């Protein structure tokens, strides 16, 4: 997030030099350039956050777009004294959660269980990797929200704990703790998986 810093810059400069909160204030007056700058800063983090709930790229895009629209509609209620990142993160979470609930109702099956399992035959290594990914997706879906998002931001997207914490509105230490627990949960899930497949393989 290149422009996400909230440091104080001269208010007379272009939108790119302004902190998020000042941009939000301008958006409140209908300033298009400021909105575009905010969207540019947060389009990737918002996609990452909603992707920690939703697996289909189209669903992720829709949820991200809805997040920005909701933020725009609620910009009058945004408290300028508070940092912008956790505010939009909270909106993204709510949007993704609602969309996930709607999708789950529509599909009447648990989130993210349809993976590459059973797809075209591939070399053994490739198949194993695909199965593990499906298992990882499934396990991630059952992690608590904060833990899942922190893991997604840090381990999947490669963000520093400080940056992830700024977006989520929590301390870097808490982010690290979430990531630690998520890793442990994934490893446990993978151990179980390995045992099952080896048993199955032995029976074949």
Partner 1 sequence: MNDENDPGPAGRLGNQAPGPVPREWLPEAMPPEGHPVWELKVARIMATAGAELGRLADGAGASRASWLSEMGNWWRPAAALAAAALALLATVDDPRSASPAIPPQAVSLGLIVADGNPTALWAALGVPADPVLAILVFEDHAAMAAPAGPVRPSGGGIQ
List residues binding partner 1 (CB under 8 A): 1-2, 27-30, 32, 35-36, 39-40, 43-44, 47-48, 51, 55, 61, 64-65, 68-69, 72-73, 75, 128-129, 132-133, 136-137, 140, 152, 155-158, 180, 183-184, 186-187, 190-191, 193-194, 198
Nearer to partner 1, 56 or 79 (CB): 56
Residue 106 DSSP SS3: helix
Tell the smallest beta-carbon distance from residue 116 to partner 1 (Å): 12
Tell the smallest beta-carbon distance from residue 85 to partner 1 (Å): 15
Nearer to partner 1, 17 or 43 (CB): 43
Tell the smallest beta-carbon distance from residue 155 to partner 1 (Å): 6
User: What whole-number distance in Å separates Cα of residue 47 and Cα of residue 95?
Assistant: 11
User: What whole-number distance in Å separates Cα of residue 104 and Cα of residue 97?
Assistant: 10
User: What whole-number distance in Å separates Cα of residue 138 and Cα of residue 191?
Assistant: 14
Nearer to partner 1, 70 or 105 (CB): 70
Angle between helices 32-51 and 84-107 (to 10 degrees): 50
Tell the smallest beta-carbon distance from residue 49 to partner 1 (Å): 11
Nearer to partner 1, 18 or 24 (CB): 24
**Residue where the block lists tokens 């905010």:** 38
- Is residue 52 within 8 A of residue 37, CB to CB? The reply is no
Residue 131 DSSP SS3: helix
Local structure of residue 69 (DSSP, 8 states): H
């Amino acid at each position: 997030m290149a422009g996400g810093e909230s440091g104080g810059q001269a208010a007379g400069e272009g939108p790119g030099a302004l902190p998020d909160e000042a941009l939000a204030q301008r958006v409140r007056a209908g300033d298009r350039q400021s909105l575009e700058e905010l969207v540019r800063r947060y389009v990737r983090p918002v996609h990452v956050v909603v992707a920690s709930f939703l697996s289909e790229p189209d669903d992720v895009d829709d949820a991200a777009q809805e997040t920005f629209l909701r933020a725009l509609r609620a910009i009058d209620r945004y408290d300028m004294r508070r940092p912008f990142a956790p505010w939009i993160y909270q909106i993204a979470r709510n949007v993704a959660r609602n969309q996930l609930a709607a999708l789950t109702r529509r599909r009447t099956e648990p989130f993210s269980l349809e993976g590459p399992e059973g797809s075209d035959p591939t070399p053994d290594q490739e198949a194993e990797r695909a199965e593990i990914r499906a298992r990882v997706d499934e396990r991630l879906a059952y992690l608590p929200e904060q833990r899942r998002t922190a893991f997604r931001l840090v381990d999947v997207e490669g963000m520093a704990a400080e940056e992830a914490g700024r977006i989520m509105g929590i301390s870097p230490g808490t982010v690290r703790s979430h990531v630690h627990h998520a890793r442990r949960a994934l490893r446990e899930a993978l151990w179980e998986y390995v045992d099952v497949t080896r048993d199955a393989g032995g029976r074949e």
